[in-house]
């Protein structure tokens, strides 16, 4: 299928495993040059090289922690330096917290707020002007079904993903006149390494 994306440039955070890697593969198969972002340098560079060789596109691995302002700045600078700009931003980085409201610390709340919400805010702030210069673009936020139907053991995840969904709606209203489309997807359970880790933790705690 030709979706008319050949030659576009996409940034995918959390792009070295799971949903993010699958998204990068799908876009590369359509001829999109991709920048995959993750904290682990070796894995992200291996996957970027494999995608480039498999699909014949430009692919770069960016090592950065997008839960920090410095990490987001690294992504914004690297994608422009390595690929010349960006047309598609996929905010996918995230993980579960698996704690009760009573047990969750301020530090845990702050960490997931930075990872799920502020990463999207910072990357949009840095890359929307780049998209405007290129005539438009697409921003996609990977939230969760938990944003609309919370899981009892994920209070921080539920809350921050709901905030991400509202940020997405607000951003969409702001940039619609600049030919930038913003959407959110709310997937349910997907068999990824992160979910396997979570399931094992829950099973161990409950004696399954």
Q: How far is CA 93 from the centre of its chain?
A: 4
Q: What is the pLDDT of residues 97-148, one digit of tens each?
A: 778 889 899 999 999 999 999 999 999 999 999 999 999 999 999 998 877 8
Helix 18-29 and helix 41-55: axis angle, to 10°?
20
Q: How far is Cα 122 from Cα 139, in angstroms, rounded to an integer?
A: 13
112 is catalytic: no
Q: How far is Cα 55 from Cα 27, in angstroms, rounded to an integer?
A: 10
- The order of strands in the sheet holding 137-142 is 59-63, 33-38, 9-13, 88-91, 137-142, 180-185
The chain-wide mean pLDDT, for the chain, equals 92
- For residue 134, what is the DSSP state? T
Of 8, 123, 124, 157, the active-site residue reads 157
Rounded average pLDDT over 72-79 = 98
Radius of gyration of the chain (CA): 17
CA 18 vs CA 15, 89, 127: distances in Å: 8, 17, 24
Q: How far is Cα 86 from Cα 183, in angstroms, rounded to an integer?
A: 17
- For residue 101, what is the DSSP state? T
Structure tokens at 9: 């440039």
Residue 200: predicted pLDDT: 85
Residue 135: predicted pLDDT: 96
- pTM for the model: 0.89
37 DSSP β-pair partners: 13, 62
Q: How confident is the model at residue 43 (pLDDT cuts 50, 70, 90)?
A: very high
Query: Is pLDDT of 194 > 80?
Result: no
CA 8 vs CA 15, 17, 26, 89: distances in Å: 17, 22, 13, 11
Ordered structural domains, the chain, with CATH: 9-206 (3.40.50.720)
Q: Are 116 and 94 in contact (CB under 8 A)?
A: yes
């Amino acid at each position: 299928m030709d979706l008319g994306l050949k030659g576009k440039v996409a940034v995918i955070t959390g792009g070295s495993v799971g949903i993010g890697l699958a998204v990068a593969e799908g876009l590369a198969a359509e001829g999109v040059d991709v920048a995959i972002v993750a904290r682990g340098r070796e894995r992200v560079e291996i996957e970027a090289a494999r995608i480039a060789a498999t699909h014949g596109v430009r692919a770069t691995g960016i090592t950065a922690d997008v839960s920090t302002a410095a990490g987001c700045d690294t992504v914004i600078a690297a994608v422009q330096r390595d690929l010349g700009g960006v047309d598609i931003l996929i905010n996918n980085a995230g993980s579960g917290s698996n704690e009760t409201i009573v047990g969750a610390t301020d530090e845990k709340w702050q960490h997931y707020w930075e990872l799920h919400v502020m990463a999207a805010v910072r990357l949009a702030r840095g890359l929307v002007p780049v998209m405007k210069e290129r005539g438009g673009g697409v921003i996609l936020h990977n939230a969760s079904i938990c944003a609309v139907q919370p899981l009892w053991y994920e209070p921080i995840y539920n809350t921050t993903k709901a905030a991400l969904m509202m940020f997405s709606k607000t951003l969409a209203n702001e940039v619609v006149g600049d030919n930038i489309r913003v959407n959110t997807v709310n997937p349910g359970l997907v068999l990824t390494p992160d979910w396997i880790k979570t399931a094992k933790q829950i099973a161990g705690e409950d004696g399954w």
